[in-house]
Structure 1
Amino acid sequence: MIKVTQLQQVHQVLNTVMGKKPCSLLVEGAEHPAGFISYAHLDSGLELKIRTQFLDSPLERRVLIRHNKKRIVAVCAFLLRNGPTEILRPHALEITDDTLKDVSETDNSSRFFMTNLTSSKEIAFVIEANKKKVNGFVINFFDSEIKQLVPYHKIFLGSGETSDMRLKHLQKNPRIIYYSPEPPAKFNPRQYFPQDIYLSEIQKSDLKVPANLQAEVTVPILYKTKIPIGYIQINMPRFVDEVLLQTVKKIGVALETQLRKVGLVFEEPKPLPIQQLDMKGLELEFSDRLLLRHFQPGLTDLFRIQKAQDSIGQFSAVVTKSVNLGSGKTRATLEFQEMDAMSELNLEEALK
């Protein structure tokens, strides 16, 4: 059983699962249905509201949520009741496997496997193979929609061997690129990473821009919220306000949704044994030459990790090194990007 007591981790997990799954109360070991109302992180602390028929006022409530074969019990302090509504303060989590599988392991087999592998380059090749469908079904409509907002813009989707500086930077750091010669005094770019080198790129003839350029914003188009596969770029003769930025981000999400509707299939379901694994990254060896397309330095890969038959979670990582070992073997080293709270907890527990 995993015991989680750090409030930040408690919040991350509950924020992921509460509201998406039915919950119940554990009373003397028995489960009783409870109605979920809300979960919030207030200034006073975490707050969970549920509806229940139990009218006792315990010092502690145990709320059960099931999520991806995990049994998550939120241990909560009872605050107050208003009719059937109870307000609780979560302070710890107890996470166990809902179903435990007996899996025999031998000394010759790896404990961990990478599966459902895809990479930014793989997606680019698939987009290129479906270019007509993607352009007609995805880009054309949104191009005219953005034009109503800003005349100077571009929608770019990576394809094949296309080399694009903005996309390369986004793959290393999938945050919004913001360029401005003189940023406003109160500009606090938490979600941006400014890049001075973009000035020379902007001045190229690939995009018509205003002579009195004040700002360029490049919003990534993501696959499964992890891998940048393209971007929306807008150029403005004034600073980009929050309303315009949020609108462009919503268009980016709509583009991602449309791309999923195209029904592109490119994930590698074949499990790959992992030689070394820790919380920072992993190392694996393979002899299938077709897999080289996934493991070129600088590429971002998206994949699942499983321990024998049990799935640990979905992860994304950047390939930092790829070495030819001879005899047709290659060793690849990958460094994890940000991971969601459940995957992080599952990995931490699996490594013990």
Structure 2
Amino acid sequence: MPEQIRTITDKGQFPKIFSLFFANNDVFLRTASGDLKIVYMGFADGTVAFKIPYVKNMPDSCVILTRKDSYIVNGVFKLKEKDADDMYVFYPVQFQIISSPRKEERMELGTGKSVLFITNLISDYILQNSLALSLKKVENIKEILHFDLEKRFPYIKIYFMNEGMSDPRMKYFYANPVPLFIPNMNAQPDAKHEKHFNTYINEIYARDYLLQNRKNLIAEIAVPVLYHGKIPYGYIQVNSDKPLTDGIFSVIKRLGVVADELFKKNKLFLPETDKLLIADASFSGIGIVFKERKYIRYFKEGSYVIGDMLLPGSTKANVLCVVRNIALMENKIIKVGCQIKDLDALSEVHYHEYLESVGLKAE
């Protein structure tokens, strides 16, 4: 069922909203660094009170949210005053109620044999910073790759994410880590490749003014450089004044793999080897918890993160996730909600066997 969104500004309905969704429920303050768990204290005379720890400077307006059953409720609040002991009083302005049912059950993991950890963590944010801090090594790797290509192609571009995420090809590969192959822009593509061709023309070529000024370049191959074959952090692009073949496409794809191997050889990317606890899990997501703030740098909402889940019986499952939410819970524990995007075949078997062993069944 698609999401349904209802906006409520009628103050006469506010008492019912607080009673149904906020009372006796987990409530969070939306902040720049993630969602902070707070406590709903009550609603009376048109104002509402929350107990909010750790916040030194509360803005004049804020968003406070909660979830109950299949509903997510986002409220906009205007600050009235701060009382003693972290107590804040607000005027509620409006609510947005989103009907968004969870697609599956999520299991809270206990101790003993059911406990899960994740290690060897690295994120695209860390990849980007590592590239920015090792520019000399990055340039050396670019030179090696250029040497293999410069005698064969009139135009070459090797680009990495530390140079900026506004580049049209970098944006494309970040969302779709699939190689681009345009064998001949002057030839009409067949029906199978027409959508791919139109995406290239409208979203990439149309924004590449250098290529538009070099009309003799009629073909392009661009391949993403992927960390462990999963997280895109750069690309290799070649353009030609002659049509390109499938054989050349295979060579450039292989060069993308070689590029990642060169970065591994130079040890540019160092994953976090500490073990972080997985507090809950499902077939499509995991919740990671930790208390030490040094780990927060590995997580940013909307970013990719990759790591090894340590399953019972000395089994590992390599997993690629997207960070969906970050919340500061009670006792300053940080919880990161992640959506699983990719598991290799063997890792998927091991992980699903584990979930079934603790009582979860795939739908």
Q: TM-score range by the shorter chain?
A: 0.5 to 0.7
- TM (norm. structure 1) is 0.60
1:169 matched to which residue of 2? 172
Q: Give secondary structure in 2 for the equivalent of 1:148.
A: coil
How far residue 296 of structure 1 moved from its aligned partner, in angstroms, is 1.2
1:117 aligned onto 2:84: no
Q: Is the 8 A contact 1:113 1:308 kept in 2?
A: no
1:199 aligned onto 2:205: yes
How many pairs align?
Answer: 245
CA distance in 1, matches of 2:168, 2:295: 24
Q: Is the 8 A contact 2:119 2:276 kept in 1?
A: yes
Moved more, 105-114 or 262-271: 105-114
Q: Is the 8 A contact 2:168 2:203 kept in 1?
A: no
- The amino acid that maps onto 1:130 is S
Per the alignment, do residues 343 and 153 of structure 1 end up closer, same or farther by CA in structure 2, a change over 3 Å counting?
A: same
Q: Give secondary structure in 1 for the equivalent of 2:257.
A: helix
Per the alignment, do residues 123 and 248 of structure 1 end up closer, same or farther by CA in structure 2, a change over 3 Å counting?
A: same
2:104 matched to which residue of 1? none
Q: Which residue of 333, 337, 346 corresponds with 1:333?
A: 337
Specify every segment of 5 or more residues in structure 1 that has no aligned partner in the other structure, as ranges: 1-104
Q: Is the 8 A contact 1:152 1:209 kept in 2?
A: no
How far residue 341 of structure 1 moved from its aligned partner, in angstroms, is 1.4
How far residue 216 of structure 1 moved from its aligned partner, in angstroms, is 3.6
- The amino acid that maps onto 1:167 is M
Q: Is the 8 A contact 2:127 2:269 kept in 1?
A: no
2:246 matched to which residue of 1? 242
Q: Is the 8 A contact 1:314 1:343 kept in 2?
A: yes
Specify every segment of 5 or more residues in structure 2 that has no aligned partner in the other structure, as ranges: 1-108, 357-363
How far residue 300 of structure 1 moved from its aligned partner, in angstroms, is 1.4
Q: Give secondary structure in 1 for the equivalent of 2:226.
A: strand
How far residue 125 of structure 1 moved from its aligned partner, in angstroms, is 1.7
1:228 matched to which residue of 2? 232
Q: Which residue of 147, 150, 156 corresponds with 2:150?
A: 147
Any residues of structure 2 matched to 1:171-190 within 5 Å, and which?
171-178=174-181, 184-186=188-190, 188-189=192-193
Q: Is the 8 A contact 1:110 1:274 kept in 2?
A: no
CA distance in 2, matches of 1:106, 1:197: 47
How far residue 229 of structure 1 moved from its aligned partner, in angstroms, is 1.8
Any residues of structure 2 matched to 1:99-138 within 5 Å, and which?
107=111, 111-136=115-140, 138=141
CA distance in 2, matches of 1:271, 1:340: 21
Per the alignment, do residues 123 and 160 of structure 1 end up closer, same or farther by CA in structure 2, a change over 3 Å counting?
A: farther
- The amino acid that maps onto 1:149 is R
- The amino acid that maps onto 1:198 is I
1:273 aligned onto 2:274: no
How far residue 259 of structure 1 moved from its aligned partner, in angstroms, is 1.6
Aligned-residue CA RMSD in angstroms?
3.3
Q: Give secondary structure in 2 for the equivalent of 1:217.
A: strand
Per the alignment, do residues 177 and 333 of structure 1 end up closer, same or farther by CA in structure 2, a change over 3 Å counting?
A: farther
- TM (norm. structure 2) is 0.58
CA distance in 2, matches of 1:257, 1:139: 13
CA distance in 1, matches of 2:298, 2:186: 39
Bigger share in helix: 2
1:32 matched to which residue of 2? none
How far residue 178 of structure 1 moved from its aligned partner, in angstroms, is 4.5
1:157 aligned onto 2:160: yes
Any residues of structure 2 matched to 1:28-39 within 5 Å, and which?
none
How far residue 345 of structure 1 moved from its aligned partner, in angstroms, is 0.6
CA distance in 2, matches of 1:309, 1:160: 43
Q: Which residue of 288, 299, 304 corresponds with 1:300?
A: 304
Q: Is the 8 A contact 1:217 1:234 kept in 2?
A: yes
Q: Is the 8 A contact 1:209 1:235 kept in 2?
A: no
- The amino acid that maps onto 1:120 is D
CA distance in 1, matches of 2:293, 2:299: 10
Once the two structures are aligned, what percentage of the paired residues are identical?
Answer: 24
CA distance in 1, matches of 2:213, 2:144: 22
Per the alignment, do residues 277 and 160 of structure 1 end up closer, same or farther by CA in structure 2, a change over 3 Å counting?
A: farther
2:295 matched to which residue of 1? 291
How far residue 148 of structure 1 moved from its aligned partner, in angstroms, is 1.6
